[in-house]
A and B are shown apart, each in its own frame.
Chain A
Amino acid sequence: MSLGSSHTPLRQLGSGKGHIALGSSGSEAILSEMSSSYPMKLLSPKVPGDNVAVVYILSYGGGLVGGDQTTLTVEVRDRTKLVLLSQGSTKVFKTRPGARLSTPSTGGSSSSITLQRMDVTVTSSSALFLLPDPVTCFRSAKYHQLQTFRLAQDASMVVLDWITSGRRSLGEDWAFSRYYSLNEVWVGDERVVKDVMLLEEPQTQVQTLPSRSVPDRLAPYSCYAMVIMYGPFVQSTMRQLSARYQEVSVFKQSSPPNLLWSLSSIRDGKGCVLRVAALETEVVKDWLSHSLSGFEEVLGPDVYRRAFV
């Protein structure tokens, strides 16, 4: 798609493709490939540390709109560690900001869906750390995120997937139309995780009961996060989390706590799934930043500091 043409209709569908390949030369991580097309933008700052690279995944105009589709293919090889970050939350608009309300709708439900795909391969002893800011879907937005991770037996992976309730300053409280997030993790030929989260108003409401909507179901929290971790690099952080989790003892409470978290193992402790919910997004961010700080040892403090800013 041409970026230069100012006559491109605003509603024309974006179809961004991106490709990242990380290998190594000596103890230096080398991005042998980093390319992308509108509306996706990739940026890699120089960072200190052996065999570590950081890539920011950005979008033009600071957000995505209905019909935007991006596909990012990532390969992490040669015992390197790739940290994928974003700058600010991924904003999903129903239509491009500034687009005229009179712009004719292209009709059809699938055309208005924003779709982000990511396919990641991590080879032996390498690691992926996907630690983006949360997704924020604005009023009436429809968002699908499909992520597949293929790991070699002793590869490692950390994937953070989180969502906020919208722009609270505008009174949005889970006001988007549809949010579908799929995370699939394969280790060798085995699918060890298939996480699917769907948030959508039911098509039909029960007439004989009071109405109950997505915000009712998710109250009182305005941010939900999930972290999937797997492999040798995450073991020490997992042990810390697990020790902390086992110390929790819940006595009868009179109202929901400000923050809730849970931890479950996958594949006999080779990995785990961490979930966090809190009243405020900032609280989740601080909690995660603190609780995952064990990754500082793996990535170096300078790199880790770039996540959760």
Chain B
Amino acid sequence: MDSDYEAYILLLLSDGNLPTGSFVASSGLESYVTHGFFGASSSTSQPKDKLSATTNFIRDSLATYARSALPFVYDAHKLAEDFLSEYMHGVAVNRGEDMESAEADFTALDNLYEAMTLNDVVRRASKAQGVALLTLFSKGFSKPPALRAFTTDLNAARREELATKLVDHLKLQIRRERILGHLPTCWGVLTAALNLSLERSQFLHLFLHARNLLSASVRLNTLGPYAAQQLLLHAVRPLVEIEMQNCKHLRSGYLRPSLGNAEPLPLDGLDETLHGPANTWPLGEILAARHDLQHSRIFNS
């Protein structure tokens, strides 16, 4: 895909006003602050301390999220990409069957994420944002009928049509509660549907995780809006880059039902203990799960 197109898609997806439900998620930050991890009451501590406390939270949160979620973005993106390219190259003969196997693969991947996310609050937030992303694609990014006739690139038009079918199908299965629809797996599908490369997709996913934490900080009043921008430019960028370096190649290790026994090694033979998803921040797990125990709270997670 040409980089102008990708840059344009990145602009759209990084819009903070996209209705993806991320504005009600603090990913455990609110609970972290309430439980005293920012030190003394936030009204008396120095802005400098709050800046470094926020940076620390972003680092630990981003590191564990990258290690546990990026493998799922990878595999979901690949799965959707395979589905779309098989059609494009005329490999798939029976359309219905292939949608079924894409659905079966997605379900297996999504269920693995559920089994690895042992936290009621995180699961709830992840599912809410996952389905919101697919809805965003269907309603916000699909081509309006009035414009469908005007196309110069038949291949691109065909791909768009297939992507819409795939996303609509998955969304329907989530509504029917046959699929859970978690954030990283839906993100992988959404970005593949938009023809964004895997690497851009992963980078943007981590960037948005970090930026949402900064937005939450501003709402929680632990950080001013200017300080949040400073961190976004000077702290988040190197952190996202390093987590990309550490985690972009990791795989989830799920078994694709569509491949049957053809792929006995889910991680392409790689050692799961080195190349699989993992949680790296047990403290963050406990605090995120305790979100609902806060006497008063402004976020949903």
Question: Could you say which of B60, B67, B118 has the most chain A C-beta atoms within 10 Å of its C-beta?
Answer: B118
What residues on A are CB-neighbors of B279 within 8 Å? 195-198
Nearest neighbor of A248 in chain B, beta-carbon distance? B293
B295 within 8 A of A: yes
What residues on B are CB-neighbors of A277 within 8 Å? 282-283, 286
Q: How many residues of B contact A (CB 8 A)?
A: 49
**CB of A186, distance to nearest CB on chain B (Å):** 10
A58 within 8 A of B: no
Q: Quick check: which of B13-21, B29-37, B166-174, B178-186 contacts chain A, the rest being far away?
A: B29-37
Say yes or no: A275 contacts B246, CB within 8 Å: no
Nearest neighbor of A193 in chain B, beta-carbon distance? B115
Say yes or no: B282 contacts A273, CB within 8 Å: no
Say yes or no: A255 contacts B36, CB within 8 Å: yes
What residues on A are CB-neighbors of B59 within 8 Å? 209, 212
What residues on A are CB-neighbors of B278 within 8 Å? 180, 196-198
A262 within 8 A of B: yes
Say yes or no: A252 contacts B39, CB within 8 Å: no
A108 within 8 A of B: no
Residue-wise, chain A 234-266 has the 8 Å CB interface mask toward B (1 for contact) of: 000000000001001111111111001111111
Residue-wise, chain A 262-287 has the 8 Å CB interface mask toward B (1 for contact) of: 11111000000101110000000000
Known: A202-B63, A248-B293. A257 touches B115 (CB 8 A): no
**CB of B171, distance to nearest CB on chain A (Å):** 23
User: In the bound complex, how far is the Cα of B34 from the Cα of A255, in angstroms?
Assistant: 9
Say yes or no: A250 contacts B293, CB within 8 Å: yes
**CB of A286, distance to nearest CB on chain B (Å):** 18
User: In the bound complex, how far is the Cα of B279 from the Cα of A193, in angstroms?
Assistant: 13
Total cross-chain contacts (CB, 8 A): 132
Residue-wise, chain B 36-79 has the 8 Å CB interface mask toward A (1 for contact) of: 11011100000000001001100110010001100000000000
What residues on A are CB-neighbors of B39 within 8 Å? 254-255
Q: Specify which of B35, B56, B246, B287 is in contact with A202 (CB 8 Å cutoff).
A: B246
Say yes or no: A253 contacts B242, CB within 8 Å: no
A306 within 8 A of B: no
What residues on A are CB-neighbors of B68 within 8 Å? 196
**CB of A258, distance to nearest CB on chain B (Å):** 11
Known: A195-B118, A250-B294, A250-B295. A256 touches B35 (CB 8 A): yes
B261 within 8 A of A: no
User: In the bound complex, how far is the Cα of B239 from the Cα of A254, in angstroms?
Assistant: 28
Nearest neighbor of B40 in chain A, beta-carbon distance? A254
User: In the bound complex, how far is the Cα of B236 from the Cα of A208, in angstroms?
Assistant: 11
**Which of B's residues lie within 8 Å of A, judged by CB?**
31, 34-37, 39-41, 52, 55-56, 59-60, 63, 67-68, 111-112, 115-116, 118-121, 234-235, 238-239, 242, 245-246, 272-273, 276-283, 285-287, 289-290, 293-295
**Which of A's residues lie within 8 Å of B, judged by CB?**
144, 146, 180, 182, 191-200, 202-204, 206-210, 212, 216-218, 221, 224, 226, 228, 245, 248-257, 260-266, 273, 275-277
**Mind listing 14 A-B residue pairs with CB under 8 Å?**
A192-B115, A194-B112, A196-B278, A198-B278, A204-B245, A217-B281, A217-B283, A218-B283, A245-B293, A254-B36, A256-B36, A262-B287, A265-B120, A275-B289
Beyond the given pairs A194-B112, A226-B282, A260-B286, 4 more chain A to chain B contacts, judged by CB atoms under 8 angstroms and listed by A's residue number, are A202-B63, A204-B245, A209-B238, A250-B35
